[in-house]
Amino acid sequence: MVLWATFGSTAVAHDDQERAREAAAAGRILPLSIIVERAIARFGGSVLDVEYEDDDEDEHGGDRGRPRYGVKLLTVDGRILKLDYDAATGDLIGHRRRARDRHVRGKGEDD
C-alpha cells in the first residue's frame, strides 16, 4: 500500500496526488506505480511513504529543477531508505539510509 505524505494537511497531500496524476496523464512524468516497482525491484522491502514535489522555485527564488518522487522504504533487513527519483525519467537521483535500531548501550551492560 502506498501512502502519500501528509505534511500540513490532508488537502495538501490530495493536491500533490492530483498534480502527480495530471502530470503523468499528460506524459510529463512517469506514473508512481513505475517508480515504486523500480524501488522495490532494486532495494526490496515495502513502501512506508511517498511524496511528490513539482515546485518550480525554491523559497529563495532559485530553480528547483525537475519534479521528483520521494519514496521511503523499509527493507527486509530493517533499514529505512529514503530514495529520490526524477519523476520524468525514473532515474534514482539521491538516497539516504538509516538503521532501524539505534540502540546505545547504557552503563553496566556487557560489550
Reported as a single tens digit per residue, the pLDDT across 41-59 is 999 999 999 999 987 544 5
pLDDT band, residue 17 (cuts 50/70/90): confident
Report the domain count for the chain: 1
Query: Residue 5's pLDDT is what?
Result: 44
Let me know if residue 103 belongs to a domain.
no
The tens digit of pLDDT for each residue in 65-85 reads: 789 999 999 999 999 999 999
Q: Are 50 and 6 in contact (CB under 8 A)?
A: no
Answer yes or no: is pLDDT of 100 > 60. no
Query: Is there a contact between 93 and 86 (Cβ–Cβ < 8 Å)?
Result: yes
Cell of 63: 530553480
Q: Which domain holds residue 33?
A: 10-69+84-98
Q: 0.75 cut: is pTM over it?
A: no
Confirm whether 108 is domain-assigned.
no
Please give the grid coordinates belonging to residue 31.
506514473
**Is 25 contained in some domain?**
yes
- Asked if 71 contacts 50 with a C-beta cutoff of 8 angstroms, the reply is yes
Classify residue 35: in a domain, yes or no.
yes
**What are the DSSP E strand ranges found in the chain?**
46-53, 68-74, 80-86, 92-98
